[in-house]
């Protein structure tokens, strides 16, 4: 699949995950130029109408869900028999991976995750969509700590026609009791599954486990969970109450909505009183006395109608190939004995739980001492207050908290004002203040590299408008805000600006403008101006003759443009003198700079031209010429021409000799006649 181009748009680059019915790949959207995740249905299901319908249903359901805590769905389609869904590419790892690596997670962090998942579920439930498979594997934790709920692959809208095929899907460790029994589901089923997720996250252990999916599902239906505080004593009683209420066996005993559960979690996080109604841990422990018990004769639960737990797990057992579940389905004798045993054990456990609760209550009544409130105190002050009240300081943990000053108590367990045995331990969590991180230097990075660097630092990224830069190549980061090295709160946004390359400006045309107007025009366009003067007989004095670089060419702002301005024209006089024996004159006797003048001469009878000297002193030699002319070109100074005549020894009586014309050029300030 890697290297394949789907519908001439999505280039598959690498596989990042695989599920029961699909594989997920990283891909490049060649139209929008962004990284996306592409979910591709496994080939063995492509011809199954049920699976393809479910695949299309996932895209349609998820595409309508808009929440910062839900993975966005952009597109879906089919290419040569390959069905795919295009989604937002989420960086980070799933919650299950975090639990496997760390074990129990800080309870405040777990509560924050739960609150965000509740917000996502409230959006889905508002559109009559039930997720049906809430589990840690479907909750992505991003580098900034926020979560994204994904995989609505088995979500079902209430008006869906796929009720039968989708009713029993789910993962045994997280499904609700009613889901295990194949009953119609409500949003309360998602709330139960989230309760299991929170339980596992805060304890590091699943509330129900077993050798196979069927045995786990039976426990979901019949057994009460061990209170989380018995697994992790650091768990706050209010948070424990929220988890156990969500995991109530009866859907009516759970939170009415995901939004209601979110409010309870937010109250806990803010230190406000948490109200979960009349629910308490003792009630949870005693729940099993009222639960339906497996009927040894037919495998159904008494009081549950004729719905059996078996169909609910049949599809999962088939898909996972779990040997234990098949053995269960094929053994009536084992099933009967197991049902009776479970009933007895459940009754014993319930009795023990009630006795334990009663002993705990009586002990506290006899020996209970009021716990001092030390939240907001320094560790030293808290220790002093705890010891004076007859208690000891238990575990001291540190956690970032932007709402509590560094070094002061964020929370305590047991809570202040509650009763506890004298000399018992009080556990504390101390604030480390707001978590800050250093902004990395993104200069010259590609957008992908910049985003990766920011995510790794626990920061969000925002792409700003491209800017021209003569220092950074086009398409790479030219500037960022905040600047590199700045300390900012974790999760802050950093804006990066890509280079649009070196900026060039079109040079305006100023030829023919006056010098002053040309300078203003060029300077307003961002250019420097240099002026040179030149004479011109065709351009009025003070107007621009030419410009360099030429008009409409592109150049960097600040480039110097040279304009040549007309200095007008100069006039020069021409003085011609003739010796004895003839006459000479200029036509005209005044000439503009660079112009030409004709020198004419006429010898008297018996004379001829001997020579003519000009400004350069170069002689003009005439041979038997008695009359004629020559031209001086490109006059750049006053001229003084002298024509000399000598007697004509040939006896020529000036019968009209041929005049000679000389082409004269000014060299070194003089005029040369040839």
Query: What mean pLDDT is predicted for residues 84-98?
Result: 90
Name the active-site residue from 133, 151, 190, 212: 133
Q: Which of 323, 343, 361 is the last residue of a domain?
A: 361
- The answer to the question of residue 603 being in a domain is yes
Whether 134 and 238 map to the same domain: the answer is yes
Annotated binding site for ATP, which residues? 39
How far apart (Å, rounded) are the C-alpha atoms in residues 410 and 408?
6
Count of Cβ atoms closer than 10 Å to residue 310 Cβ: 20
Closest C-alpha among 143, 218, 142, 139 to residue 175? 218
The count of domains in the chain is 6
Determine the pLDDT at residue 381: 93
Q: Which of 480, 498, 516 is the last residue of a domain?
A: 498
Whether 202 and 123 map to the same domain: the answer is yes
- The answer to the question of residue 445 being in a domain is yes
Whether 200 and 319 map to the same domain: the answer is yes
The whole domain housing 119 covers 92-361
Count of Cβ atoms closer than 10 Å to residue 444 Cβ: 14
Apex CA 273: angle with CA 267 and CA 276, to 5°?
85
Whether 451 and 561 map to the same domain: the answer is no
Q: How many CA atoms lie within 13 A of 262 on its CB side?
A: 13
CB burial of residue 462 (10 Å; 0-12, 13-18, 19+): exposed
- The answer to the question of residue 542 being in a domain is yes
Whether 490 and 528 map to the same domain: the answer is no
Query: What mean pLDDT is predicted for residues 348-368?
Result: 43
How far apart (Å, rounded) are the C-alpha atoms in residues 538 and 594?
12
Determine the pLDDT at residue 652: 62
Q: What is the pLDDT of residues 437-495, one digit of tens each?
A: 889 999 999 999 999 999 888 889 999 998 888 889 999 999 999 999 998 888 889 99
- The answer to the question of residue 626 being in a domain is yes
Determine the pLDDT at residue 370: 93
Whether 102 and 202 map to the same domain: the answer is yes
* CB of 180 closer than 8 Å to CB of 132: no
- The answer to the question of residue 661 being in a domain is yes
How far apart (Å, rounded) are the C-alpha atoms in residues 106 and 91?
22
Whether 142 and 235 map to the same domain: the answer is yes
Determine the pLDDT at residue 164: 38
| pLDDT band (50, 70, 90) for residue 119 | very high
CATH number of 32's domain:
3.30.200.20
Apex CA 479: angle with CA 476 and CA 485, to 5°?
115
Count of Cβ atoms closer than 10 Å to residue 513 Cβ: 20
**Averaged pLDDT of the chain:** 79
* CB of 211 closer than 8 Å to CB of 311: no
Determine the pLDDT at residue 651: 62
- The answer to the question of residue 244 being in a domain is yes
Whether 479 and 459 map to the same domain: the answer is yes
Whether the pLDDT of residue 293 is over 50: the answer is no
Task: Please provide the DSSP assignment of 599-640 as one string.
Answer: EEEEEPTTEEEEEEE-TT-PEEE-SS--EEEEEE-S--S-EE
Determine the pLDDT at residue 624: 55
| pLDDT band (50, 70, 90) for residue 191 | very high
Determine the pLDDT at residue 328: 27
How far apart (Å, rounded) are the C-alpha atoms in residues 120 and 122?
6
Determine the pLDDT at residue 171: 80
Give backbone dihedrals phi and psi of 352, rounded to 5 degrees, phi first.
-60, -40
- The answer to the question of residue 366 being in a domain is no
Determine the pLDDT at residue 95: 94
Determine the pLDDT at residue 360: 41
Q: What is the pLDDT of residues 45-57, one digit of tens each?
A: 877 787 787 777 7
Provide CB contacts within 8 A for 53, sequence distance 6+.
162
Whether 595 and 657 map to the same domain: the answer is yes
Whether the pLDDT of residue 114 is over 80: the answer is yes
Q: Which of 89, 116, 146 is the last residue of a domain?
A: 89
Whether the pLDDT of residue 107 is over 90: the answer is yes
Whether 79 and 99 map to the same domain: the answer is no
Whether 332 and 453 map to the same domain: the answer is no
Query: What mean pLDDT is predicted for residues 178-191?
Result: 92
Task: Please provide the DSSP assignment of 36-48 as one string.
Answer: EEEEEE-GGGTT-
Please say if 413 is a catalytic residue: no
- The answer to the question of residue 17 being in a domain is yes
Tokens of 374: 């030390």
628 or 277, higher pLDDT: 628
CATH number of 485's domain:
3.30.10.20
Determine the pLDDT at residue 105: 94
Whether 442 and 409 map to the same domain: the answer is no
167-176, 423-432, 654-663: segment of lowest average pLDDT:
654-663
């Amino acid at each position: 699949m890697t290297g394949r181009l789907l519908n001439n748009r999505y280039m598959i680059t690498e596989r990042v995950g695989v599920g029961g019915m699909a594989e997920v790949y990283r891909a490049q959207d060649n139209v929008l130029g962004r990284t996306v995740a592409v979910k591709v249905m496994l080939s063995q299901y492509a011809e199954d109408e049920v699976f393809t319908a479910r695949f299309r249903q996932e895209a349609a359901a998820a595409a309508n869900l808009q929440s910062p805590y839900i993975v966005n769905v952009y597109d879906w389609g089919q290419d040569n028999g390959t069905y795919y869904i295009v989604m937002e590419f989420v960086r980070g790892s799933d919650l299950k991976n975090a639990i496997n690596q760390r074990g129990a997670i800080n309870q405040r962090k777990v509560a924050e995750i739960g609150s965000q998942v509740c917000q996502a579920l409230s959006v889905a439930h508002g559109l009559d969509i039930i997720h049906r498979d809430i589990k840690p594997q479907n909750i992505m934790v991003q580098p900034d700590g926020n979560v994204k709920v994904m995989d609505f692959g088995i979500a079902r809208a209430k008006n869906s026609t796929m009720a039968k095929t989708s009713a029993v899907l789910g993962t045994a460790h997280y499904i609700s009791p009613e889901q295990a029994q194949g009953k119609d589901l409500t949003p309360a089923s998602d709330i139960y599954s989230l309760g299991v997720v929170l339980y596992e996250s805060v304890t590091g252990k699943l509330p129900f486990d077993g050798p196979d999916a069927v045995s786990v599902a039976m426990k979901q239906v019949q057994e009460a969970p061990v209170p989380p505080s018995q697994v992790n004593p650091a768990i706050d009683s209010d948070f424990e109450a929220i988890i156990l209420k969500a995991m109530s066996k009866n859907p009516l005993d759970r939170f009415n909505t995901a939004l209601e559960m979110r409010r309870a979690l937010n109250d806990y996080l803010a230190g406000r009183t948490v109200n979960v109604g009349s629910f308490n841990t003792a009630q949870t422990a005693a729940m099993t006395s009222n639960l339906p018990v497996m009927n040894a004769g037919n495998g159904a639960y008494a009081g549950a109608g004729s719905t059996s737990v078996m169909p609910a797990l049949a599809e999962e057992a088939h898909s996972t190939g779990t040997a234990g579940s098949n053995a269960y389905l094929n053994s009536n004798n084992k099933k009967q004995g197991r049902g009776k045993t479970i009933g007895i054990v459940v009754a014993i456990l319930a009795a023990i739980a009630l006795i334990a609760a009663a002993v705990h209550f009586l002990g506290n009544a006899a020996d209970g001492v009021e716990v001092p409130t030390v939240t907001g105190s320094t560790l030293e002050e808290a220790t002093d207050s705890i010891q004076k009240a007859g208690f000891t300081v238990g575990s001291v943990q540190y956690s970032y908290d932007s709402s509590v000053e560094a070094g002061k108590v964020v929370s305590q367990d047991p809570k202040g004002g509650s009763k506890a045995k004298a000399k018992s331990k009080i556990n504390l969590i101390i604030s480390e203040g707001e978590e800050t991180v250093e902004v990395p230097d993104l200069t010259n990075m590609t957008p992908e590299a910049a985003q990766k660097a920011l995510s790794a630092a626990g920061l969000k990224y925002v792409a700003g408008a491209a800017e021209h830069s003569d220092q950074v190549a086009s398409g790479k980061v030219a500037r960022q805000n905040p600047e590199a090295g700045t300390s900012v709160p974790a999760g802050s946004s950093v804006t990066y600006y890509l280079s649009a390359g070196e900026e060039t400006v079109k040079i305006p045309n100023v030829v023919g403008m006056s010098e002053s107007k040309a300078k203003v025009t060029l300077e307003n366009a961002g250019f420097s101006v240099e002026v040179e003067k030149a004479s011109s007989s065709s351009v009025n004095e003070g107007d621009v003759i030419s410009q360099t670089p030429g008009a409409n060419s592109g150049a960097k702002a600040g480039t110097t443009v040279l304009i040549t301005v007309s200095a007008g024209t100069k006039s020069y006089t021409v003085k011609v003198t003739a010796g004895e024996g003839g006459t000479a004159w200029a036509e005209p006797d005044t000439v503009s700079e660079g112009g030409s003048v004709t020198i004419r001469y006429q010898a008297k009878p018996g004379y001829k031209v001997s020579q003519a000297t000009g400004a350069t002193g170069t002689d003009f030699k005439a041979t038997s010429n008695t009359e004629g002319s020559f031209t001086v070109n490109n006059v750049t100074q006053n001229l003084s021409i002298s024509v000399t005549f000598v007697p004509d020894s040939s006896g020529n009586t000036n019968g009209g000799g041929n005049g000679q014309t000389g082409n004269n050029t000014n060299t070194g300030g003089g005029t040369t006649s040839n």
